[in-house]
Amino acid sequence: MSFWKPIALSLAAVSLTTAILVAVDSGAELEHLEIAYLFPTALIAVLYGSNFAFLTSCASALTAAYFLLPPKLSLYIGNPLHIAELGFFVVVALIAGKIMALLTHDAPRVTSLKRGRVP
């Protein structure tokens, strides 16, 4: 498997999610839109495993901070509550990505390791 394909798909999924969320955010003042970034993280975890899900959750956190949290179009986050929310999101995304990867992509590797075989 090419190393760049999962990275490109991860960044594309985050970009698509960001475009949708920015469009939704400009039409209505909704809060906590960053939770939608769990979808690309879960998708990448299922397709490519937990390492690429980690990349996706980090990219999601950066884009959420830049495009969704005030002040927008800046990585600076003025409200400490938003910093805590973003940190909580990253933890939840990492846990969700790991669980999804273990249930799908990483499951054969884990069972073979338990049996003493190296994949």
Task: Give the per-residue SS3 of the chain.
Answer: CCCHHHHHHHHHHHHHHHHHHHHHHHHCCCCCHHHHHHHHHHHHHHHHCHHHHHHHHHHHHHHHHHHCCCCCCCCCCCCHHHHHHHHHHHHHHHHHHHHHHHHCCCHHHHHHHHCCCCC
Q: State both tokens at 104.
A: 């799908």
Give CA–CA dist 71/90, Å, rounded.
20
What mean pLDDT value characterizes the chain? 84
Domain-located, residue 53: yes
Of 8-17, 69-78, 88-97, the range with the highest mean pLDDT is 8-17
Confidence at residue 93, expressed as pLDDT on a 0 to 100 scale: 87
pLDDT value of position 51: 87
Residue 3 has pLDDT above 90, yes or no: no
Identify the CA nearest to 40 among candidates 30, 52, 23: 52
Assess if residue 21 is contained within a domain.
yes
Nearest to 55 by CA among 43, 70, 65, 73: 43
What pLDDT, on the 0 to 100 scale, is given for residue 76?
Answer: 93
The answer to whether the pTM exceeds 0.85 is: no
Domain that holds residue 99: 4-114
Decide if pLDDT at 1 tops 90: no
Residue 94 counted as domain residue: yes
Kindly state whether residue 78 falls inside one of the protein's structural domains: yes
115 pLDDT above the threshold of 70: no
pLDDT score of 24 more than 70: yes
- The number of domains in the chain is 1
- Asked if residue 119 belongs to a domain, the reply is no
Residue 14 and residue 88: Cα distance in Å, rounded? 18
Task: Answer yes or no: is 48 within a domain.
Answer: yes
Question: How many CB atoms are located within 10 Å of the residue 18 CB?
Answer: 22
